[in-house]
Structure 1
Amino acid sequence: MVKVLIVDDELLVRTTVKLLLDWERNGYHICGEAKDGIDALFMVKECNPDIVLTDVKMPRMGGIELMNTLKVQYPHIKVIILSNYDDYDYVRSALKDGVVDYILKHNLHASTMLDTLIRAKEQLANKTNTFRSLDQNNLLALRNKFTLDLLSGLYREEEIEQRLAVLDIQLDLKNICVIIMSVDGYKQKNAERSMKEISLFNFAILNIIEEILKDEDNGAICHVATEQFVLLRSFKYAVSSSTNEQGTMQVLDRIRLSLKRFLNITVSFSIGPNSRNIVDIKKSYEFARVQMSQKFLKGKNTVIKESSPPHMTNSFKGVSLEMEKSLIAMIHLKDSEKTMMLLNQVFQTIIQTSLDIYSSQMIFNDLISIVNRVCKELQVEIAKVYNNRPPAEAIQTFESIDEARQWFHLVFERLYEALSEKGEKYESLHVNNAILYIDKQYSEDITLESVAQYLKISKVYLSKIFKAHVGVGFMEYLTEMKLKKVSVLLKEGSQDLREIAISSGFHNYPYFFKVFKKRYGVTPKQYIEGQDYRSDEP
């Protein structure tokens, strides 16, 4: 016996259909009736019909939406549409999606109905691969869309309860927790993937989490946009907040472990405040979404949970002028240790002031400008410093402050490597090593004898080979190099004159004053004030 479900919001129509023919005698059994699509879906679960005979226009859920839902959840069920004249164009498009036929209500005769039922019965008999289980892929898509609509506040409470039941989502209507999940490195992982591959990647994430939530018998998941997904969990029974939090963390740990194991990805979570009623979860979602911006400072693979609204500083000041001068000076001095120390100070400022990612990018752009400027001044190949990757592209991929710091450290390390390779090389290994030693130790009280001892050669031999290869004597070279360091620090202007002299290796101030004026023709103070000095300055 073929089971038939009748769906129409008019009792008269339902009664007319039931009295239209002798159903049992013709091999059909009316297993139930419903007044709209929502009721129909509940009836489908109870009586498991083979054919659904439905009206088009009904309250809550119409015939077309019912048909689309049945197609996903119960693809074996055949649908026959009851239609008025003004529904014809609407229904005709639905026929392309597997509806057996439509019957005009004004032409509702026994012969017409029986002919249509026979065609539906034949289609049932001819379908060799009949299946009554859910099409999981499409069901997942329906659940995803419903959860998105739920976050947007599109449903009333009674509608939510009905749709939760229809979609078999285990979620209570009270005490809802909204959790945003961000896939770490999502953009980099999908940069070279096709749209189909990205879609499969997203589906795999949803499917893994769906299985966990199903096992927990609590929760829903949806893909919001790009790297972000949203989880919903409910707490039906009134227990302590710490118990609820503990249960949530256990579920999140399961999700993290499973995604790492099966997809080799890490994820970060932002937990919003609990909503007392499911219709109010939009506020909790917005809180969690804004809170997720803290991932930039807290780092990847983290869980963000706060008791008060998050606050991220929005500032567009960039790198200070003093810091810019200091960085440029240290690079010119080839002082890599102090350069990295200053760079770390920049990032520490970002963390201490809780700058958001947009304000931080202003600072990153300033750092890039500093590197570009120095590369031009010192004639260093810029592409090599950035490892042949456009820096503007790189900074757009930073998801955390640690990522940004590591990237800039590598940039400055490559800059120093390029400066080291660019330095003049002589045929004598001893001379090259002597110059490297002077570059690193110039602030100390260096002498010809101390350098010779470091190289384990005699000072007489060092003096001879140094002048032969470099063209000037050892002390003359050392003094000139120290004066170049002084000129850089004077331009930076962050230290007083005596500090500059000492840090550049001049521990005797009167001697420093004397050699400086002899070299540049002006006093250090006049040099700072921009007075004329000899043009052969470095």
Structure 2
Amino acid sequence: MDLNKYLSGKTSLNDYVHRLNQNGASFQIHYWGVMPKHYDNQLHKHSFFEVCYVVEGEGTYIDDHCTYSLQENTLFLSRPEVLHQIKSEKGLSLLYVAFELIESESSESWIRIMETAKLCTEIILHDQYEMETALLWKSLLIQATKRNNEFFEEMLSTIASSLIISILQDFIPALNKSNHKHDPEQFSVLLIQAQLFIHDNLSNSLKLTEVAKHLHISGRHLSRIFVAELGVSFSKYVQDERIKKAIILLKKTNLSLKEIAEETGFMNVQYFTRVFTSMMRTSPGRFRSLFVDKNTTTYSEI
């Protein structure tokens, strides 16, 4: 990767990406760096975090009197108030970013996370191949060169936020642990697909076996998904969705009850009226007249 191509991207990042807000954290970005050839610098320290990624080259990094080797695909972290220095005889091709948490605008959990980062002992990460953080960083630079994109600033902010989180995950193992007690069930995606199919095809019969066939699973499996995920049977869910749509049509259209029954998948207007009255405690016609004429009675949409 020739970093000379992305010097304009560095300028864009420093022009547009100064503050990032995500998941209760607010970060101040002090600067972004793209250095095609970085040689030696003086022993120094910062009041903030600085993270560097070696794109090409070899050198050494001195941190708190410890010396580490630098090579291609190395990510290293400079912590606040820790003396550090970079050395290289032939020059390093570097990407770097400096940032700190704005505590007054961040949650207590993020304050604790950043305090943990200050005590991080594994500050050098080597990878034979490009790590996810490096790919995000390069993607950010590519986007940063495209100032004419309609959503230029929004894309920079989104990718930059993901990059900072990815960097912190690399150096703080605790961030990689899920906050959930267990992983989501595999059928959660199937539930979403089933719900979308039902929503878009309410005028059809929507039998359990037909929807299951559309999703390439058994009817028994689909039935279990609805009970486990939503706590209701498949048939009850479909019926509720039919009534929800009927309520909208009664409120917002002049369709006849027969037409509404057809649109919502009821076999006839009599059955539609019976189900609607049972669930809403008033008939469809009465519901419509109260809503349109008086506009004072509030009905929940189930």
Q: TM-score range by the shorter chain?
A: 0.3 to 0.5
Higher helix share: 1
> Which protein is bigger by CA-based radius of gyration?
1
More strand per residue: 1 or 2?
Answer: 2
- Scaled by the length of structure 2, the TM-score of the pair is 0.35
Q: Tell which has more relative contact order, 1 or 2 (C-alpha 8 A, sep 6+).
A: 2
